[in-house]
């Protein structure tokens, strides 16, 4: 491509990162008598604690934390940060995770004291801005998904799934309809079956066909009056659109079941097709994926759940609504399943997502999906000689490639390729998922990576193939330039050291 | 429209050409036409960042309850603690903020080690040996504790003190619809849980709150005794700041400790993101929900950290997992580690002590007001309930006019859930943190006196 003349913006340095030295823990850095805290001068009478609280409640000892100077505290966490890959450092093509660039503007919005110093228990009239924000976000998420109403309480995708299943349960119960099974494709995320169990249902697994899609005939054979619903990701976890979705929806609805949409892959279809129009009754979204709120090293996320009109009365409450007089108020839906969060959900994540949606608008969100799909398809085709796609046709926002060829020819597995990619200055793709693909490598470039970065990623994979031919052992040892090399996971599990105190025992 | 998308039109055309396509729409041609969205999303067009910022400024001005306008004496699990610049700056480093779950430990040692340090801190505060890498919030941590108890005992009956935060009890009830757990709420009398008033036989868990939601410090020895007698897990829902000076959950004999971790460096933030602290005894480790980080070595025998005991988790165990939790609140856990690193051993004691001093000073002064009464004769720590001669929500509204967020109405907090206190509408919950000065407290007392008149 002509674009190759520009350097890739999304590749982190492949030389050893700054954080190559191991870092002591804060407890090892601790020196008795040091401190860094400073508190307000209050003038409150300093009555000794033992005159305020009876002795039987006071601890005999002292909880030992760490004792650090502020300077050492800063150095410690700054050095830890140097031992950490991040989206801000380089491309993160981790399939199923939508690790796109997180606009700094959205973080700045969330840092506003007008939002983040509001106590969650204040009466609605003191938080009108917050309630308007929640209503606006709910409305826009409903437009994007084609649904009627939503709860913003679930704190992450899995919390959204369980909320959705409890909505499903409440819906059937309200009709005195006893059902005990939920269908899940064999390609589903692990959270789906785990949530089904917690929702009080049994899992029935539906096989995929040789095109990587739900086997419609097998699905029909599994259907019956005891089926509460089906959980689907569309596009599915191999990055393919379930083209028979209308037939699937009809078949499930015909037996009285509901369709649950796992929104993990919503980024692929923004503005192109909506879950509500496909026949879904319940939809969860991962705002930390599709709407670019930062992942925080594994959270916080936010997993709002949108529903069709017939499920609205069951939504968790309280829910922010626009009142008759134009003021915003809290309302508990008529047959609410109850709270699913201690307060109103991960509010600051919700604020970031609304800022992201408003900046993009309908046109921008549509282009987000288009370029996400373009990037995934370009990469799939660009690298097909090295890593062929598991299903060789147009994919959506991610492509599942297979390292079977490298394994058979050189003994180099998908995991080795992933680890070698770390040495190349890229984050690894998702490996060995979905389970139905041998030596799966799932790449999701996202729309925010440039063609130059994708080309550099492809060239890095080609170099890894060359290493597989010339020196496969070096790939088994990879990575060596990262802060640590491959870790002994078996030892971690066999001899659990989950705290400093266990370490010193 | 602001544009975070790098592609030039020429690049888009070139990439499409490589795929043998001529338009972006063609990428979606395989989606059945019957479900395609025609005409695009019915949303306003994108706006520039400054334009969107203007809209948000209007929203933030409409939040009359922000700290700059009202001095905060509200608590109930969300506290206005000091968060210094150093904690804000370190916890907003983009390496922590924009990382993913540490699935590739070779390039995630920063987050993994920070979580390991966090687990150590939670373990020490709880007095229990094992802590996980965080859960969504205190309420959902309680739900996970109940699930652990069901797994450990094979029983479904959960005995929960009504002293547990009403929102937590509501969340537990919501999720019990799926798990089938039977929740038995034990009433309070004079702020003390009346354990003997319910049938404790076949209990899977006995859950007490320390202090309870009305601020009362109950003697947990009785709850522990019942737990032992019925072979149930003893779960303590604790205030983690108070844990800096009070007897730890472990010292009371708890099997599981859960807490709302917001006081450790996270702003009030209208209720989230916060974090659920979770710790337990070693014998329950295989039932632990969520992630746990362990220490090990790399292939060059250097110290390394990695998520471990993975076989419990949903992506491996699927429908037989101990929990469905995947994404947790890692950034808040890292923040808590930084905040506790800043506070240190002495700082946490000092914060806890000052909270108690401020709360007792305010309590004593408030009781001098005609018509304002205590609701319990038992000791409290940093939060307490006051009975006022009018509707608490009216009193609090009047105090707002004088710049004071005077607390929360217990009636409104419970929203129909059993408050286990008479005339809850006339009771308000008041808290004091180390940030409140004597001047602010004296002003509080003046406004309260005026408001109840």
Domain ranges of chain A: 24-35+62-80, 107-359
- How far apart are the C-alpha atoms of B33 and B152, rounded to whole Å? 52
In a mutational test of the B interface, the residue from A124, A183, A420, A492 whose CB has the highest number of chain B CBs within 10 Å is A492
Q: Is residue B29 part of a domain?
A: no
B113 touches chain A (CB under 8 A): yes
Comparing alpha-carbon positions, the chain B residue that sits nearest to A186 is B318
Burial A14-23 (b: 16+ CB within 10 A, else e): beebebeebb
Look at residues B255, B301, B118, B332 and name the one whose alpha carbon lies nearest to residue A499: B118
Residue B310 sits in a domain whose CATH number is: 3.40.640.10
Closest residue to A144, CB basis, from B41, B48, B119: B41
Cβ-Cβ contacts under 8 Å, B29 against chain A = 394
Cβ-Cβ contacts under 8 Å, A206 against chain B = none
- How far apart are the C-alpha atoms of A215 and A302, rounded to whole Å? 31
Q: Map tokens 């400790």 to a residue.
A: B257
On whether the CB atoms of residues B410 and B214 are closer than 8 A, the answer is: yes
Quote the pLDDT of residue A7.
Answer: 82
Statement to judge: residues B149 and B79 lie in one domain: no
Quote the pLDDT of residue B318.
Answer: 83
Statement to judge: residues B333 and B421 lie in one domain: no
| Interface contacts (A, B; CB < 8 Å) | 732
- How far apart are the C-alpha atoms of B344 and A36, rounded to whole Å? 8
Look at residues A269, A300, A228 and name the one whose alpha carbon lies nearest to residue A146: A269
Cβ-Cβ contacts under 8 Å, B102 against chain A = 297-298
Average pLDDT over residues B154-160: 98
- Chain A 202-261, residues with CB within 8 Å of chain B CB atoms: 203, 241, 243, 245-246
Statement to judge: residues B183 and B241 lie in one domain: yes
Pick the last residue of a domain from B284, B311, B337.
B337
Sign of CA dihedral A234, A236, A239, A240: negative
B33 touches chain A (CB under 8 A): no
Q: Is residue B423 part of a domain?
A: yes
Cβ-Cβ contacts under 8 Å, B412 against chain A = 123
Cα B245 to its chain centre, rounded Å, is 20
Smallest Cα distance from B283 to chain A, Å: 12
Smallest Cα distance from B129 to chain A, Å: 8
**Domain of residue B327, residue span:** 86-337
B324 touches chain A (CB under 8 A): yes
- Chain B 290-319, residues with CB within 8 Å of chain A CB atoms: 291-300, 302-306, 308-311, 313-319
Token pair of A370 as six digits: 């288009």
Q: Can you tell me whether residue B114 is helix, strand or coil?
A: helix
Look at residues A362, A353, A291, A354 and name the one whose alpha carbon lies nearest to residue A100: A291
Q: Is residue B438 part of a domain?
A: yes
Quote the pLDDT of residue B321.
Answer: 82
Token pair of B223 as six digits: 């709850």
Cβ-Cβ contacts under 8 Å, B18 against chain A = 1, 378, 381-382
- How far apart are the C-alpha atoms of B396 and B76, rounded to whole Å? 15
CB contact under 8 A, A374 and B16: yes
A199 touches chain B (CB under 8 A): yes
Statement to judge: residues B377 and B418 lie in one domain: yes
Assign residue B363 a region (left: φ > 0; alpha: ψ between -120 and 50; beta: otherwise).
alpha
Statement to judge: residues B356 and B367 lie in one domain: yes
Statement to judge: residues B266 and B396 lie in one domain: no
- How far apart are the C-alpha atoms of B49 and A134, rounded to whole Å? 19
A134 touches chain B (CB under 8 A): no
Cβ-Cβ contacts under 8 Å, A496 against chain B = 285, 294, 308-309
Smallest Cα distance from A47 to chain B, Å: 6
Token pair of A282 as six digits: 């319940």
Token pair of B428 as six digits: 């308000």
B393 touches chain A (CB under 8 A): yes
Statement to judge: residues B195 and B276 lie in one domain: yes
Q: Which residues on neighbouring strands pair with residue B131, listed in sequence order? A: B279
Q: Is residue B19 part of a domain?
A: no
B128 touches chain A (CB under 8 A): no
Helix residue spans in A383-496 (DSSP H): 404-410, 414-423, 451-470, 472-477, 489-494
Three-state secondary structure along A72-134?
HHHHHHHHHHCCECCCCCCCCCECCCCCCCCCHHHHHHHCCHHHHCCCCCCCHHHCHHHHHHH
Burial of B50 (0-12, 13-18, 19+ CB in 10 A): exposed
Q: Is residue B24 part of a domain?
A: no
Smallest Cα distance from B148 to chain A, Å: 12
Statement to judge: residues B213 and B273 lie in one domain: yes
Pick the last residue of a domain from B309, B337, B365.
B337
In a mutational test of the A interface, the residue from B51, B57, B118, B136 whose CB has the highest number of chain A CBs within 10 Å is B136
Q: Can you tell me whether residue A237 is helix, strand or coil?
A: coil
Q: How confident is the model at residue B322 (pLDDT cuts 50, 70, 90)?
A: confident
**How is residue A50 annotated by DSSP?**
H
On whether the CB atoms of residues A143 and A307 are closer than 8 A, the answer is: no
Cβ-Cβ contacts under 8 Å, B294 against chain A = 492-493, 496-498
Helix residue spans in B154-199 (DSSP H): 166-179
B391 touches chain A (CB under 8 A): no
How many other CB atoms sit within 10 Å of the CB of residue A50? 11
In a mutational test of the B interface, the residue from A120, A340, A351, A440 whose CB has the highest number of chain B CBs within 10 Å is A120
Report residue A127: phi and psi, to 5°.
Answer: -135, 35
Residue B446 sits in a domain whose CATH number is: 3.90.1150.10
B125 touches chain A (CB under 8 A): yes
Cβ-Cβ contacts under 8 Å, A294 against chain B = 97-98, 331
On whether the CB atoms of residues B24 and A370 are closer than 8 A, the answer is: yes
Closest residue to B331, CB basis, from A143, A197, A297: A297
The domain tally of chain B equals 2
Quote the pLDDT of residue A178.
Answer: 95
Burial of A2 (0-12, 13-18, 19+ CB in 10 A): exposed
A119 touches chain B (CB under 8 A): yes
Quote the pLDDT of residue A2.
Answer: 44
- How far apart are the C-alpha atoms of B430 and B359, rounded to whole Å? 8
Quote the pLDDT of residue A14.
Answer: 54
CB contact under 8 A, A166 and B174: yes
Query: Distance of CA B223 to CAs A409, A441, B184, B190, B253, Å?
Result: 64, 52, 14, 16, 10
A472 touches chain B (CB under 8 A): no
Statement to judge: residues B199 and B113 lie in one domain: yes
Look at residues A431, A478, A450 and name the one whose alpha carbon lies nearest to residue A374: A450
Comparing alpha-carbon positions, the chain A residue that sits nearest to B88 is A111
Report residue A233: phi and psi, to 5°.
Answer: -110, 125
Q: Is residue B209 part of a domain?
A: yes
**pTM of this structure:** 0.97
Q: Mean pLDDT in each 10-residue stretch from start to end of chain A (505 residues)?
A: 64 64 94 96 97 96 94 96 95 95 96 97 96 98 98 97 98 97 93 94 96 96 98 95 97 98 97 98 98 96 98 97 95 97 98 98 97 98 97 96 96 97 95 91 97 97 97 96 95 96 75
Pick the last residue of a domain from B294, B320, B337.
B337
Average pLDDT over residues B67-89: 97
Statement to judge: residues B222 and B97 lie in one domain: yes
B325 touches chain A (CB under 8 A): yes
- How far apart are the C-alpha atoms of A182 and A326, rounded to whole Å? 41
Cβ-Cβ contacts under 8 Å, A112 against chain B = 56, 60
- In CATH, the number for domain A107-359 is 3.40.640.10
Comparing alpha-carbon positions, the chain B residue that sits nearest to A344 is B271
Closest residue to B44, CB basis, from A52, A113, A361: A361
- How far apart are the C-alpha atoms of B290 and B303, rounded to whole Å? 23
Smallest Cα distance from B391 to chain A, Å: 14
Q: How confident is the model at residue B196 (pLDDT cuts 50, 70, 90)?
A: very high
B280 touches chain A (CB under 8 A): no
Comparing alpha-carbon positions, the chain B residue that sits nearest to A357 is B46
Cβ-Cβ contacts under 8 Å, B49 against chain A = 103, 105, 359
How many other CB atoms sit within 10 Å of the CB of residue A32? 7
Residue B238 parent element (H or E): strand B233-238
The mean pLDDT of chain B is 96
How many other CB atoms sit within 10 Å of the CB of residue B242? 23
Q: Map tokens 């991040």 to a residue.
A: A86
Q: Map tokens 């407890």 to a residue.
A: A27
Smallest Cα distance from A131 to chain B, Å: 9
CB contact under 8 A, A295 and B174: no
Query: Distance of CA A329 to CAs A124, A319, A323, A332, B426, Å?
Result: 6, 8, 6, 10, 22
Quote the pLDDT of residue A504.
Answer: 63
CB contact under 8 A, B121 and A65: yes
Q: Is residue B231 part of a domain?
A: yes
On whether the CB atoms of residues B430 and B362 are closer than 8 A, the answer is: yes
Percent of chain B's residues with pLDDT above 70: 100
Report residue A308: phi and psi, to 5°.
Answer: -80, 170
Smallest Cα distance from B312 to chain A, Å: 11
- How far apart are the C-alpha atoms of B158 and B176, rounded to whole Å? 10
CB contact under 8 A, B324 and A161: yes
Radius of gyration of chain B (CA): 25
Statement to judge: residues B99 and B210 lie in one domain: yes
Q: Is residue B34 part of a domain?
A: no
CB contact under 8 A, B100 and A496: no
Sign of CA dihedral B437, B443, B449, B452: negative
Statement to judge: residues B285 and B141 lie in one domain: yes
Cβ-Cβ contacts under 8 Å, A502 against chain B = 129
């Amino acid at each position: 491509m002509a674009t190759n003349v520009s350097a890739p913006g999304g590749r982190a340095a492949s030389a050893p990162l700054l954080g190559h030295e191991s870092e002591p823990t804060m407890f090892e850095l601790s020196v008795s008598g040091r401190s860094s805290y400073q508190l307000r001068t209050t003038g409150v009478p300093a009555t000794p604690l033992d005159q305020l609280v009876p002795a039987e409640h006071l601890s005999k000892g002292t909880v030992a934390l760490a004792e650090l100077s502020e300077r050492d505290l800063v150095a410690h966490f700054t050095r830890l940060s140097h031992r950490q890959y991040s989206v801000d450092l380089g491309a993160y093509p981790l399939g199923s995770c939508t690790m796109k660039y997180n606009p700094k503007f959205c973080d700045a919005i969330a840092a506003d004291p007008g939002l983040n110093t509001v106590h969650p228990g204040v009466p609605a009239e003191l938080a009108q801005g917050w309630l308007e924000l929640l209503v606006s976000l709910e409305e826009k998420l409903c437009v994007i998904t084609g649904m009627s109403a939503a709860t913003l309480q679930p704190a992450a995708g899995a919390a959204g799934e369980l909320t959705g299943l409890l909505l499903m349960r409440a819906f059937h119960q309200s009709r005195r309809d006893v059902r005990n099974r939920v269908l899940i494709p064999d390609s589903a995320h692990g959270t789906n079956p785990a949530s089904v169990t917690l929702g009080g249902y049994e899992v029935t697994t539906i096989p995929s066909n040789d095109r990587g899609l739900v086997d419609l005939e097998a699905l029909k054979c599994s259907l019956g009056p005891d089926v509460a619903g089906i959980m689907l990701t569309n596009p599915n976890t191999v990055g393919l659109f379930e083209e028979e979705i209308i037939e699937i929806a009809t078949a499930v609805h015909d037996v009285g079941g509901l369709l649950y949409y796992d929104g993990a892959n919503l980024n692929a279809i923004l503005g192109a097709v909506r879950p509500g129009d496909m026949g879904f009754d319940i939809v969860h979204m991962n705002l930390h994926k599709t709407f670019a709120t930062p992942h925080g090293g594994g959270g916080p996320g936010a997993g709002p759940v949108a529903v069709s009109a017939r499920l609205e009365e069951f939504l968790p409450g309280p829910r922010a609504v626009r009142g008759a007089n134009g003021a915003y108020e809290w309302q508990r839906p008529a047959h609410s399943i109850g709270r699913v969060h201690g307060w109103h959900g991960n509010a600051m994540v919700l604020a970031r997502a609304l800022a992201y949606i408003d900046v993009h608008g309908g046109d921008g969100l549509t282009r987000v999906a288009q370029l996400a799909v373009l990037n995934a398809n370009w990469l799939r085709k660009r690298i097909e000689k090295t890593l062929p796609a598991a299903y060789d046709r147009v994919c959506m926002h991610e492509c599942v490639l297979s390292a079977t060829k490298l394994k058979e020819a050189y003994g180099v597995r998908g995991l080795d390729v992933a680890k070698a990619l770390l040495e190349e200055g890229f984050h690894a793709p998702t490996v060995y998922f979905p389970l139905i693909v041998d030596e799966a490598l799932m790449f999701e470039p996202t729309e925010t990576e440039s063609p130059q970065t994708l080309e550099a990623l492809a060239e890095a994979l080609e170099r890894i193939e060359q290493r597989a031919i010339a020196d496969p052992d070096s790939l088994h040892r990879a990575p060596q330039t990262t802060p640590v090399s491959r870790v002994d996971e078996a030892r971690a599990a066999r001899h659990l050291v989950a705290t400093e105190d266990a370490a010193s025992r | 429209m602001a544009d975070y998308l790098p592609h030039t039109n020429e690049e888009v055309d070139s990439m499409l050409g490589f795929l043998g396509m001529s338009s972006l729409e063609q990428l979606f041609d395989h989606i059945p036409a019957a479900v395609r969205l025609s005409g695009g999303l019915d949303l306003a067009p994108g706006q520039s960042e400054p334009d969107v910022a203007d809209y948000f400024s209007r929203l933030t001005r409409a939040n009359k309850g922000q700290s700059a306008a009202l001095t905060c004496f509200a608590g109930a699990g969300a506290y206005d603690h000091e968060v210094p610049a150093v904690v804000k700056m370190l916890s907003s480093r983009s390496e922590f903020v924009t990382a993913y779950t540490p699935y590739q430990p070779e390039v995630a040692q920063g987050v993994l080690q920070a979580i390991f340090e966090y687990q150590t801190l939670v373990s020490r505060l709880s007095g229990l040996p094992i802590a996980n890498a965080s859960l969504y919030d205190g309420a959902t941590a309680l739900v996970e504790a109940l699930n652990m108890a069901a797994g450990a005992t094979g029983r479904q009956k959960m005995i929960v003190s009504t002293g547990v935060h009403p929102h937590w009890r509501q969340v537990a009830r919501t999720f019990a619809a799926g798990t089938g757990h039977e929740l038995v709420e034990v009433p309070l009398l004079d702020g003390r849980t009346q354990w003997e008033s319910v049938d404790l036989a076949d209990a899977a868990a006995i859950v007490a709150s320390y202090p309870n939601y009305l601020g009362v410090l109950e003697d947990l020895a009785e709850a522990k005794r019942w737990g032992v007698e019925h072979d149930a897990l003893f779960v303590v829902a604790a205030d983690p700041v108070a844990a800096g000076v009070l007897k730890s959950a472990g010292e009371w004999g708890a099997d599981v400790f859960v807490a709302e971790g917001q006081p450790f460096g996270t702003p009030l933030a209208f209720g989230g993101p916060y974090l659920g602290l979770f710790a337990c005894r070693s014998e329950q480790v295989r039932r632990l929900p969520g992630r746990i980080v362990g220490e090990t070595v790399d292939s060059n025998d250097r110290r390394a950290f990695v998520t471990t005991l993975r076989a419990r988790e949903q992506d491996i165990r699927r429908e037989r997992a101990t929990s469905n939790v995947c994404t947790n609140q890692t950034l808040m856990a890292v923040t808590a580690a930084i905040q506790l690193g800043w506070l240190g051993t002495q700082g946490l004691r000092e914060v806890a002590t000052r909270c108690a001093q401020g709360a007792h000073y305010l309590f004593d002064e408030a009781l001098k007001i005609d018509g304002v009464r205590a609701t319990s004769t038992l000791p409290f720590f940093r939060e307490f309930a006051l009975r006022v001669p009018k509707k608490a929500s009216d009193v609090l509204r009047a105090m707002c006019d004088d710049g004071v967020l005077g607390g929360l109405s217990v009636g409104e907090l419970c929203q129909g859930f059993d408050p286990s206190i008479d005339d809850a509408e006339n009771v308000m919950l008041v808290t004091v943190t180390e940030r409140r000065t004597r001047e602010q407290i004296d002003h509080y007392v003046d406004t309260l006196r005026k408001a109840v008149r």
